[in-house]
Amino acid sequence: MTERVPSGGIPRTPGLPHPPPPQPELQEQATAERSATRPIALALTVSMAASIGLGVVYALGGQVQLEGLLLFFALGGIAVGFIVWGQKLLPQGPYVQDRHALTSGVADQEETSETFEEGAESLERRRLLVRLLTGAFVALGAALVFPVRSLGSAPGSSLFRTAWRRGSRVIDENDRPVRPEDLDVGGVLTVFPAGNNGSADSQTLLIKLGAGEYRPKPGREDWAVGDVVAFSKVCPHAGCPVGLYEPDTHRLFCPCHQSVFNVLDACQPRSGPATRPLAQLPLTVDRDGYLVARSDYTEPIGPGFWDRDR
Amino acid sequence: MIRRTVTFFDERLHVSRFVRSSLDKVFPDHYAFLLGEIALYCFVVLVGTGIFLTFFFNASSTEVVYHGDYHPLVGATMSDAFRSTLDLSFSVRAGLVMRQVHHWAALVFIAAIVAHLCRVFFSGAFRKPRELNWMVGVTMLILAIFNGFSGYSLPDDLLSGTGLRIAFSIAQSIPLVGTWIAFLVFGGEFPSHRITGRLFVTHTLIVPALLVALISVHLAMVWRQKHTQFPGDGHREDTVEGPKLWPTYAMKSLGLFFATAAVLCLLGGLFQINPVWLYGPYHAAQVSSPAQPAWYMGWLEGALRLMPPWEIRAFGFEIPNPFFPAVLLAGVTFLGLYIWPFLEAWATGDRSVHHLLDRPRDHPFRSALGAGTLSFYAVLFFAASNDLVAKWLKVRVTIITALFRIAVFAVPAVVGFVTHRLLRALARSGAPRFSEMPRQALRKGFRPARPVDG
């Protein structure tokens, strides 16, 4: 059944027909309607029961799986009711409506443009004022940048430095100072400078290599204490903690993007997206035999930024 | 009663005629047109459950010691954000189901948007006069992804904290302004105590407000332009066919809302999602392994993993590696989406108005390009699990990564080519669907084009 409705949509949809003389088609329709009513009634009843059930579950202390299941039936019952009602008991059409042309036509467009232009012309006649207005807006825009500046501190040198200083004592996560002999061969420990436990950019891995395995880069001969070396734990790719150490192969793995670093080769990246080695922290021991830093890292740790090599 | 209400409003606002024509408005009915509605209804569920969550969540990075109902973490130090998430999950009655429904709704929301985008793309619904609405839709996709990310970052758990750390590194990788952007957004060097509060305001106020505004514009434009429909069944460019808004379409659409909400509640009740108590609170020196982001971030994570260790360094300046897979790829992706309707109109020279949709075969090249592009992102998505794939297959992860690096280019090429030839064969055969296409027509599709086919 297709009914043509003018684009104004004025004629109302006729209600469901109710003619008095019984016709076979209408009887069929009535039967179909009755058979559609039953599932709707059932679904709505299920919904009601589930909502009552929700109340009971809540009163008894709540239980997440039951709550989810009962919500499913409470909402789903109404859903089935609505959808079957909409599909079986309501006029489906299809009804046909005209689409309006979306354009108003060339004449209207012309007139609109002209109206704009006329207005703009009368504004533009005041040349000086227009220029001053532009200037005022530019100045205001610049002034509004200042609150944006308040959002955060300047990067300054903070990406170039960590909390490590000359003589910073090496502490573990429980604030205990560390001696070189506290680590077994193949052992690894996350450490921080004393007073900065948990510091994101100062987190450092202490690794004890086997005897004679440390092959320092030129200039780093005295950066290890015995066979204990220290490298930044911050991945130079995207900044994740390089958390996994495989003592047999002397490799460090970053669990985020699978960069692999060779500890015996000054932590050069072996595979994955990392482009730089992990920075090495120069170590020594103080008079009491505890590990201390010789200085801060000698290069920026962690992920790259545009003026890192400045 | 109805009569009195109508009279009341009409005497004040002159609305009768508009309301009547609206009630009579005809909506084309096709199951593929429901995807956008599902996204809309997910948003409604997100707002509802989200409001509930805000009453308990405390967006604060103040360190506290946990003494709540989840015993394994009693005595642990954590941010107040994480503590309140635990309380919300374990101590607030019906809190966990609300939290999980919210999370599931976000996952389905973005999935529905992407599916809707695919429907619009492959059926050519973005063509004139609907380019503007396509752009509004792309903007909402970006906002939805952003809000998904900001939402799962709020609990300040170990997994999402690592995600924020990566986000900081990506922001930092932008040339010239990257460090400033990262520091201004986060309120200082990572991890800043300001970020949780900022994410909270963005997640619960700014982005939802933008989405409400854009959804209104999106629907108003559909209303104004009337919905597209598929060709066939005597459908014409200048008419629209279907049931009327009142009462049939309204009834069905409300039914779809309740169905969407019902399924989301089932997921939220029965399927555990984002169990932050298993990840633990965020500490900068710890990391969970394996670390997998939410599905809609998978393509970016995969791209970060596949990118070879290249970066540009010159004159003391550098463009860090994450810039290419994260900033550049995301930029190109969304820019490409934004300009596609205009790009296609320019390439085909087709600048006429279309209200009847294409079937994918009507435009084999567009469909092939779309399928190839989708497969590109699908490969990236799976590459985000390269460590898990390596574990299952008991192969070294470097081998898996190398294979993915090939696949990310090979798969789209093959998918695009095969799609193009299959659709061309189908179009030439004139069969209504693939299953009714004769076999020799399939072979013909793969042969070079005859001159007459142009």
What is the three-class DSSP state of A306?
coil
- Count structural domains, chain B: 2
Tell me the C-alpha distance between B223 and B291, whole Å.
44
Domain CATH code at residue B105: 1.20.810.10
Same domain, B166 and B263: yes
Q: Which residues of A279-299 are buried (b: 16+ CB within 10 A; e: fewer)?
A: bbbbbeeeeeebbbbbebbee
Same domain, B102 and B223: yes
Q: Which two tokens stand for residue A42?
A: 């059932």
B364: its two tokens? 């084999």
Give, to the nearest 10 degrees, the angle between helix B250-270 and helix B34-54. Answer: 50
- Per-residue pLDDT reduced to its tens digit, A36-45: 899 999 999 9
Q: ipTM, 2 decimals? A: 0.93
Q: Is residue B346 a part of any domain in this protein?
A: no
Same domain membership, residue B239 and residue B203: yes
Kindly indicate the confidence band of residue B451, based on its pLDDT and cuts at 50, 70 and 90: low
* Distance from C-alpha of B168 to C-alpha of B158, rounded to nearest angstrom: 15
Q: Based on the domain organization, do A179 and A296 belong to the same domain?
A: yes
Does A168 lie in the same domain as A91?
no
Minimal CA separation from A202 to chain B, in Å: 9
Question: Which residue has 């619904």 as its token pair?
Answer: B125
Mean pLDDT on B360-385: 97
Question: Is A98 an 8 Å CB contact of chain B?
Answer: yes
What is the pLDDT at residue A17?
46
Between chains, do A81 and B182 touch, taking CB under 8 Å as contact?
no
Q: How confident is the model at residue A2 (pLDDT cuts 50, 70, 90)?
A: very low
Q: How far apart are CA A229 and CA A242, in angstroms?
A: 15
CATH number of the domain to which A263 belongs: 2.102.10.10
The answer to whether residue A183 is domain-embedded is: yes
pLDDT at A34: 84
Interface contacts (A, B; CB < 8 Å): 302
Is there a single domain that holds both residue A182 and residue A281?
yes
Examine residue B290 and say whether the peptide bond preceding it is cis (omega within 30 degrees of 0): yes
Residue B251 placed within a domain: yes
Spell out the alpha helix ranges (H) of B173-249: 178-186, 195-201, 207-225
- Sheet of strand A228-232, all strands in order from the earlier edge strand to the far edge: A170-171, A188-193, A204-208, A228-232
Q: How many helices (H) and strands (E) does chain A have?
A: 4, 12
Q: What is the pLDDT of residue B450?
A: 56
Predicted local distance difference test score (pLDDT) of residue B298? 96
A196 shares its domain with A92: no
Are residues B246 and B374 both part of a single domain? no
Does B423 lie in the same domain as B371? yes
pTM of this prediction?
Answer: 0.94
B329 shares its domain with B365: no
Q: pLDDT class for A285, splitting at 50, 70, 90?
A: very high
CB A183 within 8 A of CB A201: no
Asked if B266 lies within 8 A of A79 by C-beta distance, the reply is no
Buried b or exposed e, range B52-89, using 16+ CB within 10 angstroms:
bbeebbbbbbeebebeeeeeebeebebbbbbbbbbbbb
Distance from CA of B373 to the nearest CA of A (A): 23
A287 near B CB under 8 A: no
Task: Decide if A132 is inside a domain.
Answer: no
One domain for residues A66 and A187: no
Query: Among residues A73, A96, A119, which one ends one of the domains?
Result: A96
User: Is residue B345 in a domain?
Assistant: no
The residue range of the domain holding B222 is 31-293+318-334
Q: Tokens at residue A205, please?
A: 């891995």
Measured CA to CA, the distance from residue A257 to residue A157 in angstroms comes to 27
Structural domain includes residue A82: yes
pLDDT > 70: percent of chain A: 92
- Same domain, residue pair B147 and B244: yes
Question: What digits encode the pLDDT tens for the residues A23-66?
Answer: 677 788 788 888 889 999 999 999 999 999 999 999 999 999 99
With respect to residue B16, please indicate whether it lies within any of the assigned structural domains: no
- Indicate whether B169 pLDDT > 70: yes
Domain assignment present for residue A130? The answer is no
Answer yes or no: do A307 and A172 share one domain. Answer: yes
The number of domains in chain A is 2
pLDDT score at A35: 86
Q: Are residues B367 and B330 in the same domain?
A: no
Answer for the pair B415, B372: CB distance below 8 angstroms, yes or no.
yes
Among B20, B242, B285, beta carbon nearest to A9: B20
Answer yes or no: do B370 and B422 share one domain.
yes
Q: How far is B420 from chain A (nearest CA, A)?
A: 33
Distance from CA of B66 to the nearest CA of A (A): 18
Examine the domain organization and report whether A76 and A197 are in the same domain.
no
Same-domain check for residues B286 and B367:
no
Query: Of A40, A72, A96, which residue sits at a domain end?
Result: A96
Residue A303 lies in a domain: yes
Distance from B303 to chain A by nearest Cα, in Å?
A: 10
pLDDT at B432 over 80: yes
Residues B230 and B104 placed together within one structural domain of the fold: yes
Q: Is residue B349 part of a domain?
A: no
In a domain? residue A69: yes
Of A61, A149, A273, which has the smallest distance from its Cβ to B305's Cβ? A273
Q: Is residue B158 part of a domain?
A: yes
Tokens read off for A85:
């009602």
B330 and B394 in a single domain? The answer is no
- Report CA-CA distances (Å) from B337 to B304, B333, B342, B352: 21, 6, 10, 20
What's the confidence (pLDDT) of residue B443?
A: 80
Task: Write down the pLDDT at residue B310.
Answer: 93
Last residue of a domain, one of A53, A79, A96: A96
**Cis before B360 (ω within 30):** no
* Residue from B23, B100, B166, B170 whose CB has the most chain A CBs within 10 Å, to mutate: B166
Instruction: Give which of B23, B98, B18, B97 is closest to B55, Cα–Cα.
Output: B98
Q: What is the pLDDT of residue B448?
A: 67
E strand or H helix at A270: strand A268-271
Same domain, A192 and A86: no
The alpha carbon of A303 is separated from its chain's Cα centroid by a whole number of angstroms, namely 19
d(CA B149, CA B300): 12
Name residues 197-256 of chain A within 8 A of B (Cβ).
198-201, 203, 233, 237-241, 243-244, 255-256
Rg (CA), chain B: 25
Q: How far, in Å, CA of B253 to CA of B102, rounded?
A: 21
Domain range for A256: 161-310
Same domain, A70 and A215: no
Q: Between chains, do A80 and B248 touch, taking CB under 8 Å as contact? A: no
**B31 vs B242: CA distance, rounded Å:** 13
Using CB atoms and an 8 Å cut-off, which of residues 31-50 of chain B contact chain A? none
A214: pLDDT confidence band, cut at 50, 70 and 90? confident
- Of the candidates B241, B258, B320, the beta carbon closest to that of A304 is on B320
Are B269 and A67 contacting, i.e. CB atoms less than 8 angstroms apart? Answer: yes
What is the full DSSP assignment across A221-267? TTSSBTTEEEEE-B-TTT--B--EEETTTTEEE-TTT--EEEGGGTT
Give domain status of residue B80, yes or no. Answer: yes
**What digits encode the pLDDT tens for the residues B108-139?**
999 999 999 999 999 999 999 999 999 999 99
The reply to whether B311 falls in a domain is no
Q: Which helix (H) or strand (E) holds B22?
A: helix B16-23
> Residue B92: phi, psi to the nearest 5?
-90, 125
**Is 80 exceeded by the pLDDT of residue A12?**
no
Same domain for A181 and A54: no
